[in-house]
Structure 1
Amino acid sequence: MDDFKVKLMEKWKICTIGDQITLQRGVDITQKNSQAGKIPVISSGGLSFFHDTAVDDGPGVIIGRKGSLGTVYWSAGPYWPHDTTLWVKDFKGNNRRFIYYFMKTLKTKNLDVGSSNPTLNRNHVHPISVIWPPLKEQESISKTLSVLDDKIDLNRRTNETLEAMARALFRDWFVDFGPTRAKMAGEAPYLAPKLWELFPDKLDEEGKPEGWQTESLDETATFLNGLALQKYPATGDTSLPAIKIAQLRSESTDTADPVSPDIPDNYIVEQNDLLFSWSGSLLCKFWNGQRGALNQHLFKVTSKRFEPWFIYEWIQFYMPEFQAIATAKATTMGHIQRRHLTESLVTIPPANIMQAANKAIGSLIVQIQSNNGQSRTLAQLRDLLLPKLMSGEISIRDAEKMVEDAA
């Protein structure tokens, strides 16, 4: 045993989880019975809705108890832990953020006491034996890992701003035809002179800028539906994660089913591929996870004529309409049909305006993708360091150096 481990074992102690924290079952509430407010109601799947009353003032740690077993959430402020969760009622003087990270390392699959629905019982968590660091070590571990999470959160908030900027420009140029309408109204230019000159000063009989074209959404791109991947079971030592709606929503393949890699190349999903779930939870994202296989109910959207951001923005523009169509379906899994893509019209400008849009709007989307890629790398480093720090396998000094180099 090296000197670091010897010194560590002298400071850390063996105890049970129940010695260090007290878990409490969450409180049942339905969205129907909630009152309008700003208090997050956190279920085993994450943020569910908002309420006007908190169960705990926070900061708090919430663990999935039913369904999504062992998922761990941090609430910086007041919150309501749903009945499908456990929450830390008493931190017993420990660093709260450290508890959050520690609970993320807890292996919960062997603690499942549910018959049909996975269930976590607090009385089975409390007796688990662990090696526990003193408060000073807890604070150092928490601080080191928080640097990564804080940077990831900053990227997320930056991307929200970039996304809003891109959407505003897209809507002004391609939906509302703002520059053309401003010219028609004799208003002052609000774009750079060379860019302003590119836009026509009249609308045609169809109500779009002169010289612009109209196409159906499914003419502008190829919408490739995924495979029924249960027909491609993983065999041997290699596999691909099946990317389903759940993976698209979470941008993670941690819980994905393994499938055979022997599928046609066009059904392989790579980072930054544009994916669109047309069934169930309708959403459209640039994929930010590992390489995987495209499952049915997801489109991989590609175009030989237009940049991905252009197709992405048009899908997002029609998304509320698509979601309304899916919601109206009298089935357990609402969806849209290909004819809805055909009925969704896209306005296409001349090449010179499209080139300008690629610089103005496309560059924002590229920055979003870059931030997403960085966040993914930081998350991988955090997940690598987390168990090593919790077990004392790596020193805090070494971990801090790795974090400094990455962030």
Structure 2
Amino acid sequence: MSSNWPLKKISDVAYFRNNKRIPLKSLDRAKRQGEFPYYGASGIVDYIDDYVFDGSYLLISEDGENLRTRKTPIAFQAHGKFWVNNHAHILEEKEEGILDYLEYYFSTLDLTPYITGAVQPKLNKANLDTIGIPIPPKDERRSINRTLNHLRDKIELNTQTNQTLEQMAQAIFKSWFVDFDPVKAKIEALAAGGNADDAELAAMSVISYPPHEPTGRYC
């Protein structure tokens, strides 16, 4: 039970790597466009020509209105080669699986007591490292991570599916009501000497297989 889990600070279970942060102005980034993600408080801000970090890390927003509104995640992982500005705390795990657990924990935690600044909300490192986090034993933590990772994967898959369906719907709408493909198909069938049934079949073929998506079927 979580009530029996010991409370620990972030620095007990992860390393802060804030000292490796290097902010770049937008003008500087414009001169250094490349393949490596450049992260800020709420995710990827840009892509540049170099990296500072190489591995898996957890980033936690340090400042910005999103700390209060939570319109985007305030804790998110970054993998591979990337760069981070000075608007996100950077954590490296001390033991396997802790980053997943911390990410899920901070996604539900009310940070209001730890945020300072009336105009520009800020979660500084000192306040962040005072938060008591219930840390389960390694086996329990792995089980929690496995379950939550599975749910996250399903959510991401459903989101991708919804985006695909939306694109399909837009393609159909354009075919029917902007390009008038079914009407054109009827006209072409009749012009080729077909009868009314041929024209109707041609229109139905366009409806079933829109020309914008020749390899997919819309049901």
Could you tell me whether the CA contact under 8 Å between 2:54 and 2:79 is conserved in 1? no
Equivalent position to 1:196, from 202, 212, 217: 202
Could you tell me whether the CA contact under 8 Å between 2:60 and 2:76 is conserved in 1? yes
Q: Which residue of 2 aligns with 1:69?
A: 67
Q: Which residue of 1 aligns with 2:117?
A: 114
Paired residue type of 1:51: I
Does residue 41 of structure 2 align to residue 44 of structure 1? yes
1:255-283 per-position Cα deviation (integer Å, ceiling 9, x unaligned): xxxxxxxxxxxxxxxxxxxxxxxxxxxxx
Superposition pairs of residues 270-285 of structure 1, within 5 angstroms: none
Does residue 24 of structure 2 align to residue 29 of structure 1? yes
Q: Which residue of 1 aligns with 2:195?
A: none
State the alpha-carbon separation in 2 of the partners of residues 138 and 43 from structure 1.
28
Structure 1 pair 50/173, CA: closer, same or farther in 2 (3 Å)?
farther
State the alpha-carbon separation in 2 of the partners of residues 161 and 155 from structure 1.
10
Shift of residue 167 of structure 1? 1.8
TM (norm. structure 1) is 0.40
1:220-258 per-position Cα deviation (integer Å, ceiling 9, x unaligned): xxxxxxxxxxxxxxxxxxxxxxxxxxxxxxxxxxxxxxx
State the alpha-carbon separation in 2 of the partners of residues 185 and 51 from structure 1.
52
Could you tell me whether the CA contact under 8 Å between 2:57 and 2:93 is conserved in 1? no
- Aligned residue pairs total 191
1:83-141 per-position Cα deviation (integer Å, ceiling 9, x unaligned): 221121x2111412122112324442222233531111112222433332222222111
Shift of residue 61 of structure 1? 1.6
Structure 1 pair 53/164, CA: closer, same or farther in 2 (3 Å)?
farther
Q: Which residue of 2 aligns with 1:293?
A: none
Could you tell me whether the CA contact under 8 Å between 1:24 and 1:122 is conserved in 2? no
Could you tell me whether the CA contact under 8 Å between 1:18 and 1:127 is conserved in 2? no
- Greater relative contact order structure (CA < 8 Å, 6+ sep): 2
Shift of residue 143 of structure 1? 0.9
TM (norm. structure 2) is 0.69
Identity %: 30
State the alpha-carbon separation in 2 of the partners of residues 145 and 44 from structure 1.
23
Which consecutive unaligned segments of at least 5 residues does structure 2 have?
Answer: 69-73, 193-197, 209-219
Q: Which residue of 2 aligns with 1:219?
A: none
Superposition pairs of residues 143-222 of structure 1, within 5 angstroms: 143-181=146-184, 194=200, 196-197=202-203
Could you tell me whether the CA contact under 8 Å between 2:183 and 2:203 is conserved in 1? no
Paired residue type of 1:159: N
Structure 1 pair 114/151, CA: closer, same or farther in 2 (3 Å)?
same
RMSD: 3.5
Q: Tell me, what secondary structure is at the counterpart of 1:33? A: helix
State the alpha-carbon separation in 2 of the partners of residues 122 and 83 from structure 1.
12
Q: Point out 4+ residue stretches in structure 1 off by more than 6 angstroms.
A: 185-188
Q: Which residue of 2 aligns with 1:140?
A: 143
Q: Which residue of 2 aligns with 1:92?
A: 94
State the alpha-carbon separation in 2 of the partners of residues 52 and 156 from structure 1.
31
